[in-house]
Structure 1
Amino acid sequence: MPRSGIRSFPRTDVIPKKVAAPRRRDADIAYEAIEALISTMVLPPGSPVVEAEVSERVGLGRTPVREALMRLMSIGLIVQQPRRGLLVAPIDLANHLDVILTRRVLERVIASCSARRANAAERQQIADCAERMVAAAARDDLKAYMRADHDLDVANHAACRNASAVTAVVPLVTQCRRFWYAYQHAGEIREGARCHALLAHGIARGSEAEAVQGADALMDYLEAFTRRVIDN
């Protein structure tokens, strides 16, 4: 059994015939690329967002980029100001506590649904992602840690089969990720990995109560992190 205590599941499920994944829309690809630039602080708060420059940077046409920018405006990551055009939105320290408060409710729903609805392969994938986070944190590999964090979110959101909760939580996850990148000096990735492991452990065991406790532990960690940033 792995050191973090996450149960590994034997791969006894029947593997279905592979079906070609549907082609992704350019607007969706553009959205993910621009969102990553913003959430990882490559484009810091206050940066100008010029459609032509962004289009060249992500290697996509201006029409899908324009659609992506409109979506990012709708969730508050990009703002439009008179005479200044589009800008990356500032980080509101006080409002971030409300972001976490709202996200806590949604994460509890998603954790509960995943624990109840995930199949064996999804439980194993979630456990594997958490193990990667724990290992990356142990060697202080921030890049690998954040990649595993993202993969765990994707796996958890797919396993919960609750599209409305996922649609509501994704913008909040992005805001939390950007906040973490901006103030990571106040964070402790080993504690973050431990909390993610608790969540994954509950889902992997199929225990709704344990999964919800893990989600609460993760939100407690993010809230404490935010309060340290505010107090400093």
Structure 2
Amino acid sequence: MPKLPAPPLPKRRAADMAYDAIETLISTLQLAPGSPVVEADIVELTQLGRTPVREALLRMVSIGLIVQQPRRGLLVSHIDLADHLDVVQTRRVLECLIAACSARRATALQRKDILRCADKMVQAATRGHLVDYMAADLALDQVNHQASHNHSAVKAVVPLIVQCRRFWVAYQHEGDIMEAAQAHMDLAQGIATGDEAAAVGGATRLMDYLQGFARRVIDN
């Protein structure tokens, strides 16, 4: 019997594409904490139209990455150093759950993809290439989240990841990119082999790194 072709991937909504674009601008500090968010500028940048951009901005407001202030309009939220430790602590619980789910539920292709992404992170870290590192990091998150099939956990963790990512970019001089890359590799290997304990161990190592990183920033 001939093999049926894989069903086409669903077309992404314009609002989701706008959300991703704004998220990238915030997490890479192209939209710095405290800076104004001008709808017309985002529309011009994304070429996606006012309606999807407005929907994406409202989502950003609802999760606290953008704040709305009287007479000042929309602003990128500030990085709160003290609150960031709570962000990491909350993310730890969710990342461990997602890692365990992915180790159980990932397809063979997803297991290969997550290893490939982690290897790209290690290579980028070795070269000290931050742009490639962050691109591979984002790709790894996307595969991991899809593989987990735990939509509630993913929905809760994504805003925390963005906050951690922009915190890391802002204070990267305090971190060890190679240590972070190896933690991602431990996570990926655990998922790829279906070893839940190893996957959770990798997620734990990554959160330990982020917590230690945050403490160094705060102490300095």
- TM-score (norm. length: structure 1): 0.92
SS at match of 1:42: coil
Once the 2 structures are TM-superposed, how far is the Cα of residue 20 of structure 1 from its aligned partner?
Answer: 2.1
Which position in structure 2 is the counterpart of 1:231? 219
1:109 maps to 2:97: yes
Which position in structure 2 is the counterpart of 1:176? 164
Which position in structure 1 is the counterpart of 2:198? 210
Once the 2 structures are TM-superposed, how far is the Cα of residue 18 of structure 1 from its aligned partner?
Answer: 3.0
Point out the more displaced range, 17-26 or 146-155.
Answer: 17-26
- Unaligned regions of 5+ residues in structure 2, if any? none
1:90 maps to 2:81: no
Once the 2 structures are TM-superposed, how far is the Cα of residue 16 of structure 1 from its aligned partner?
Answer: 5.9
Work out the CA distance in 2 between the residues paired with 1:80 and 1:134. 39
Work out the CA distance in 2 between the residues paired with 1:41 and 1:31. 15
* Alignment-mate amino acid for residue 135 of structure 1: Q
Q: 1:228 to 1:16 in 2, by over 3 A?
A: farther
Work out the CA distance in 2 between the residues paired with 1:143 and 1:127. 19
Q: Percent identity?
A: 64
Alignment of 1:44-193 (within 5 A): 44-193=32-181
SS at match of 1:80: strand
* Alignment-mate amino acid for residue 90 of structure 1: H
Work out the CA distance in 1 between the residues paired with 2:194 and 2:6. 26
* Alignment-mate amino acid for residue 212 of structure 2: A
Work out the CA distance in 2 between the residues paired with 1:223 and 1:162. 24
- Structure 1 runs of 4+ aligned residues shifted over 4 Å read none
Q: Deviation digits for residues 197-220 of structure 1, max 9, x if unmatched?
A: 111111111110111011000000
Work out the CA distance in 1 between the residues paired with 2:49 and 2:114. 35
* Alignment-mate amino acid for residue 187 of structure 1: G
* Alignment-mate amino acid for residue 59 of structure 2: R
- Unaligned regions of 5+ residues in structure 1, if any? 1-14
SS at match of 1:229: helix
Work out the CA distance in 2 between the residues paired with 1:129 and 1:64. 30
Once the 2 structures are TM-superposed, how far is the Cα of residue 37 of structure 1 from its aligned partner?
Answer: 0.5
Q: Deviation digits for residues 37-85 of structure 1, max 9, x if unmatched?
A: 0111000011111111211122121111110100000110100111111
Q: Deviation digits for residues 144-173 of structure 1, max 9, x if unmatched?
A: 111110111001001111111111111111
Q: 1:16 to 1:37 in 2, by over 3 A?
A: farther
Which position in structure 2 is the counterpart of 1:26? 14
Work out the CA distance in 1 between the residues paired with 2:4 and 2:93. 34
Work out the CA distance in 1 between the residues paired with 2:131 and 2:112. 22
* Alignment-mate amino acid for residue 150 of structure 1: L
- TM-score (norm. length: structure 2): 0.96
> How many matched pairs?
218
